[in-house]
Amino acid sequence: MVQRLMKIVTVVGARPQFIKAFPFSREVRKHPEVREVLVHTGQHYDYEMSKVFFEELDIPTPDHHLEVGSGPHGAQTGRMLERLEAVLSEERPDWTLIYGDTNSTLAGALAASKLHIPVVHVEAGLRSFNRRMPEEINRITADHLSSILFCPSRAAVENLRREGIGGDGGPPSGPRPRVYEVPDVMREAMTLSLPRAEDRTGLLRDLGVVPGAYFLATLHRAETTDDPARLRAALDLLARASGLFPVVFPVHPRTRELVEASAPPLPGSLRILQPVGYLQMLALERHARAILTDSGGVQKEAFWLGVPCLTLRRETEWVETVEAGMNHLVDLEAGRALDLLRSLPPPAPAAPFAPVGAARAMLDRMQE
């Protein structure tokens, strides 16, 4: 008997999603009975934020590139919806797979659910409990439209249960959503990539820094960058931190635009970089003395690498990292941040990582 082909449309659009898609796409290519159709919305579109990730991680060239580009949330999501609907109507997949909490995530969930195509959400159940964050709205909506929800932690499973998803929850009619706690696919991506990341440590030499004697900073979330006062406070915090150790700061293109529009120039004491590829970023993270960030993904990677992290937000969806004492929620309180940076011990060497099997677990559940 010939086994029926399963078709999965995977929707990605932003740099964290390219990383998360890498292990699953790699696993799918081992299974001739499964075909993945990769759709790139174009939310991140320049080389440093998009193409370099496909090259470094050997992700297949997207089957469809929607070329949506940047823009306000409503306009960007609307363009994605229109173009995704056409692709999904043409492909008619068994599943639409979405990752994380970006506008591409939201558009993928909406377009697929309106066409009655089941949705699989990876990184389901995460909550910051701050609905002023656009990412929180995106992840809540995606979760409530999904048929399979892959959660990276027990806390995420419990968040869904409280919202009536999983357990005895679900719609009054129709199939009940399936909720699974699975290994974190982003950790699998990191584990697979770390050996090659060590080949990128020449970047440290080029920057004039040495392992364990610099801070790494990233800023990109709207709650930080869209408020000129908060953006100035964040940049001032980084400038003051550079009085302790050099601060390496790869600047997100959107952050750079907002700085140029409404904030003082980037402090000259910072080691300013264009966005770097995934392997270079891992190398910078692994050898930093501490990391200052508003990124959810960077918080997780710091935790796994054993590098102390100061999160420049009031809350985080990755509560486990805070409970473990490796992540400190400092918001933009410069005095508290500097006190922590002065007192943090140097990071211990990270323990070796074993493959975590997230991609295989996800594919097995989808084939049940």
- Residue for token pair 């193409």: 51
Closest to 122 measured CA to CA, from 358, 301, 306, 337: 358
Q: What is the crossing angle of helices 358-366 and 185-197, to 10°? A: 140
Tell whether domain 6-181 is in CATH 3.40.50.2000: yes
Query: Is the pLDDT higher at 55 or at 347?
Result: 55
Closest to 34 measured CA to CA, from 94, 84, 91: 94
- Residue for token pair 């399979």: 148
pLDDT at position 18? 93
pLDDT at 2 over 60: no
CA angle (254, 258, 261) in 5-degree steps: 140
pLDDT at 354 over 80: no
Pairing mode of beta strands 6-12, 34-40: parallel
What is residue 162's DSSP assignment? Answer: H
Give pLDDT tens digits for 113-123: 999 999 999 99
pLDDT at position 3? 63
Q: For 78, what's the count of Cα atoms within 13 Å in the CB-facing half-sphere?
A: 5
Average pLDDT of the chain? 91
Distance CA 294, CA 359 (A): 26
Domain ranges in the chain with CATH number 3.40.50.2000: 6-181, 196-343
- Helix, strand, or coil (residue 224): helix
pLDDT at position 1? 39
pLDDT at 267 over 50: yes
Active-site residue flag, 220 = yes
Helix/strand/coil (H/E/C) assignment for every residue in 24-46? HHHHHCCCCCEEEEEEECCCCCC
Host H or E run for residue 97: strand 95-99
Give this prediction's pTM: 0.89
Exposure b/e, 73-107, CB count within 10 A at least 16 = b: eeebbebbbebbbebbeebebbbbbbbbbbbbbbb
Q: Which CATH architecture has domain 196-343?
A: 3-Layer(aba) Sandwich (3.40)
**Over residues 210-236, mean pLDDT:** 92
Give pLDDT tens digits for 111-155: 999 999 999 999 999 999 999 889 999 999 999 999 999 999 999
Distance CA 236, CA 242 (A): 10
Q: Specify whether the CB–CB gap between 123 and 97 falls below 8 A.
A: no
Give pLDDT tens digits for 28-54: 999 999 999 999 999 876 645 678 888
Cα 206 from chain centroid? 27
pLDDT at position 246? 97
Which of 5-9, 97-101, 349-353 is predicted least confidently? 349-353
Give pLDDT tens digits for 288-316: 999 999 999 999 999 999 999 999 999 99
What is residue 47's DSSP assignment? Answer: I
pLDDT at position 174? 59
Q: For 324, what's the count of Cα atoms within 13 Å in the CB-facing half-sphere?
A: 15
Catalytic-role residue among 40, 64, 220, 328:
220
Distance CA 187, CA 336 (A): 30
Q: How many CB atoms lie within 10 A of CB 5?
A: 10
Give pLDDT tens digits for 83-122: 999 999 999 999 999 999 999 999 999 999 999 999 999 9
